[in-house]
Amino acid sequence: MDVAIETVTSMAFDEAVRATREALVEKGFRILHEFDLDEVLGPRGGAAAERAHVLAACDPEFARRSFEVNRDVALLLPRNVVIREVGGGCVIQTLNPALMAQAISGGLHDLTDDLTADLVTIMKGLGPR
């Protein structure tokens, strides 16, 4: 099983961040918080580092339903979606929801299958351009 669901796009960094935010919201996610990783990490020895932006997203319906199955799911919310600048484009990735079902008992598999399908659809829409 892959750790991440991801895509690579030729979009410029700022465009990829905007498009990712819009795609998540269109699919019903709420953006609870976002930040540039450079602002958190600070200077990295003067080396030209790739830019990275994190969107803390939550699908309220998934969160409600999974919380009803096992309250420990709150430990894994919200879902981070990371946009990283690489070469002439960006990698957009998020943790595979199936790992959530493995980490928390109680029958989250059906719920994470639905969430995975939504995330794959989002990534396909953001893919190569």
* Predicted model pTM: 0.90
Q: What is the phi/psi pair of residue 95, to 5°? A: -65, 135
pLDDT digits (tens, 9 = 90+) for 69-94: 999 999 988 999 999 999 889 999 99
Residue 90 identity: C
Vertex 38 angle, CA 35 and 40, to 5°: 65
pLDDT at 15: 97
Q: What CATH number does residue 61 fall under?
A: 3.30.310.70
pLDDT at 33: 96
Rounded to whole angstroms, how far apart are CA atoms 78 and 32?
Answer: 8
Mean pLDDT, residues 5-25 taken together: 97
More confident residue, 58 or 127: 58
- Rg, C-alpha atoms of the chain: 15
Q: Which residues contact 47 (CB under 8 A, 6 or more apart)?
A: none
Domain count, the chain: 1
Cβ pair 11, 19 in contact under 8 A? yes
More confident residue, 39 or 97: 97
Domain that holds residue 97: 4-41+48-126
In this model, does residue 60 exceed pLDDT 60? yes
Average pLDDT, the chain: 90
pLDDT at 58: 96
pLDDT at 14: 96
